Every structure is written in C-alpha cells, then in structure tokens.
Amino acid sequence: MNWLDKMNAAVNYIEENLSGEIDYSVIAKKACSSLYQFQRIFSFVVDMPMSEYIRRRRMTLAAFDLQNSEMKVIDIALKYGYESPEAFSRTFQSMHSVTPTMARISGTKLKAYPRISFQISIKGDVEMNYRIEKGNAFVIQGVDREFDLAHEEECYQEIPKLWSHLCNSGEFEKMISLADVECHKGNAYPVRACSMMTGDGTKFRYIIGVSSLQGNKALEQYNQLEVKAGLWAVFTSESVSMEEIAGAIQKINKQIYTEWLPTSKYEHGDYQQEVYYMDESGSTYCEVWLAVTEK
C-alpha cells in the first residue's frame, strides 16, 4: 500500500464513522503512521486541522438530515457526537450562520464541505533544497507544554502564546544569557524549538529552549528534553523579517509534508526542531530539522 492509499484509507475511516465515535488511534493505524505525523500531514495538505475537517463534515451531514428527515434536533445532535442540543446548535450556527430550526425552512442557504481525497499533483516548478546529516545526541533545556492530539486546535492557540510569553516576560533573554556559547557558533540564535511524540503517540511535547551536548547546570531550573542521536533531513526557509518568520516556517513545513516526505525514501522519526539564524542583511531564516529513518 503506497502513501496515497494509506492516507485515503484513513479518510475513509473518518467518513464511515462521522455518525459515530471516531477513534484517533485507528486513524493512525489506517495511515500506518503515528497520530502526530498524520495530523501534521493532514493539516498541511488540507489547510485545516483534522478535527476541524471532522466538524465541518458532520455539520454538512447534519444540515442534510435537518432538511430531508423528520429527526428531532436532539437526535441529530446525538448522532454526530454532541451530548446536548445547545452545544450542537452553537457549532451548527458557527458554520451555517443559521440555527438548526431555521435550517429546516425551505430556501435557507446552507454550507456544504465535501469529503476530501488525497491525490498527487505533479508540479515540479519549485525546487526544494535539503541535506541529510547525522547528528549527535543533545539536550534542550527550556519551557515546554504537552498537547493531546485529540484536541489539536489547542496547540495552534497555545504555542504562539508560549512564544509570546517567553518574549514578553524576559525569559527568552534569560535563557540566551545562560546558553553555552560553544554550542551556538556562527549566526545561529541560541534558542530553538523542538517537538516530539510522547506516550502511546496520542500526545506530543513542545519545548522552547537552549541546547547543549550534556545539559547546562546554569539552566537546571528549566525542564529538559533529551534528543537521541540519529539521522536528520534539514530544510532552510527563505530569509524574512522576524515578523514574517512564522509564515516562512509554515511554508517550508507544508512543502516537507506534502511534497518531499511522501516521495522520499525516508519516514518521519520522533523529533522535529527549528533552528533560527540571522543572515548578513539582518534578516531571519530558519532551518527545520526533521528526524528521519530510511523506509
């Protein structure tokens, strides 16, 4: 089974269970990947989190039920996983801009989101530079959060907040001042971000901190993540202003997960890190380091 077949098998499972319970661990098994990896690929390909896709598809089918059946609103709410008609109504109205009761009126305008399928689009118009490097084990000490992949919207909201807190509280500068200079030669910023799967693959840990080979005693008050030695695929973003770096990282990540990874001889490993640099003009760019293993 190739990559496209695996992704479509996962989508088929989602579609078959929209009116029941969707087990996120089964989705990962269908895709033959970790849940973390599948959700990253899905969000970059579809341009929305998987949970948002599921919500939109359920509200699309709920609208059809309201207009084409005599089912009570509470029964439709239960059918699509809502414990109360109030919660269902809020979600329905946020998508369709009308209440479930109004949706039953003939001529009411509603929105529909069709099911997706994964296909390869042959472009070849944008080259993608990368390099493969063997990396030693190292330690990141900093501030971290753990996220439940069943509530993936939380990470989209909380990670920017974490960065903002570190920058505004002075914690960012404090970590930089305590960094091991020998580990950050050249034009690299001392602070980096790293994410990894935890537990049974249903959660992931995200840490912003300073790296060192064996840990820095001056940073012992921070949480610590030990990154194993291994193989890394390294991708470089375009140089932009600091305000634009988040968009540049998003762009390179989308290329990695939608273009490079599906057609390469590598699979996603346990880690992904972002290392930030300043070029000669004062602009910022980022290297995305993706832990990989050969298929």
Other CB atoms within 10 A of residue 291 CB:
21
Given a contact cutoff of 8 angstroms between Cβ atoms, the answer to whether 288 and 252 are in contact is: yes
pLDDT for residue 184? 54
pLDDT at 80: 96
Other C-beta atoms closer than 10 Å to the C-beta of 111 total 12
- Cβ atoms of 216 and 210 within 8 Å: the answer is yes
At 45, list the tokens.
């390909």
Percent of the chain clearing pLDDT 90 (strictly above): 45
End-to-end CA gap in the chain: 13
pLDDT at residue 186, rounded to an integer? 57
**How far apart, in Å, are the Cα atoms of 188 and each of 74, 183, 191?**
56, 10, 9
- 58-93 confidence digits (pLDDT tens): 999 999 999 999 999 999 999 999 999 999 999 999
The rounded distance, in Å, linking the Cα atoms of 151 and 35 is 12
- 255 neighbors 128 (Cβ within 8 angstroms): yes
pLDDT average, residue stretch 114-119: 86
Q: What is the pLDDT of residue 33?
A: 82
CATH code for the part of the protein at 130-294:
3.20.80.10
Does the structural domain 3-103 have CATH classification 1.10.10.60?
Answer: yes
CATH 1.10.10.60 maps onto the chain at 3-103
Determine how many CB atoms are found less than 10 A away from the CB of residue 164: 10
Residue 65 in tokens:
């039920």
pLDDT of 157? 82
What's the pLDDT score for residue 113? 95
Mean pLDDT of 198-224: 84
pLDDT at 126: 62
If pLDDT is split at 50, 70 and 90, which confidence band does 137 have?
very high
**Given a cut of 60, is residue 185 above it in pLDDT?**
no
pLDDT at 289 over 90: yes
Task: Cite the residue boundaries of each domain of the chain with CATH code 3.20.80.10.
Answer: 130-294
pLDDT surpasses 70 at 219:
yes
Q: Please state the φ and ψ torsions of residue 284, each to the nearest 5 degrees.
A: -105, 140
Report DSSP letters for 209-251, one per residue.
EEEESS--GGGTTSEEEEEPPEEEEEEEPPPB-GGGHHHHHHH
What strand order describes the sheet that includes 203-212? 130-135, 230-236, 284-294, 266-278, 188-198, 203-212, 138-148, 223-227
Of the candidates 277, 270, 287, the one whose C-alpha atom is nearest the C-alpha of residue 195 is: 270
pLDDT classification of 232: cutoffs 50, 70, 90: very high
Which of residues 276 and 208 earns the better pLDDT score? Answer: 208
**Residue 216 structure tokens:** 């820095």
Residue 206: pLDDT above 60? yes
Does position 112 have pLDDT exceeding 90, yes or no? yes
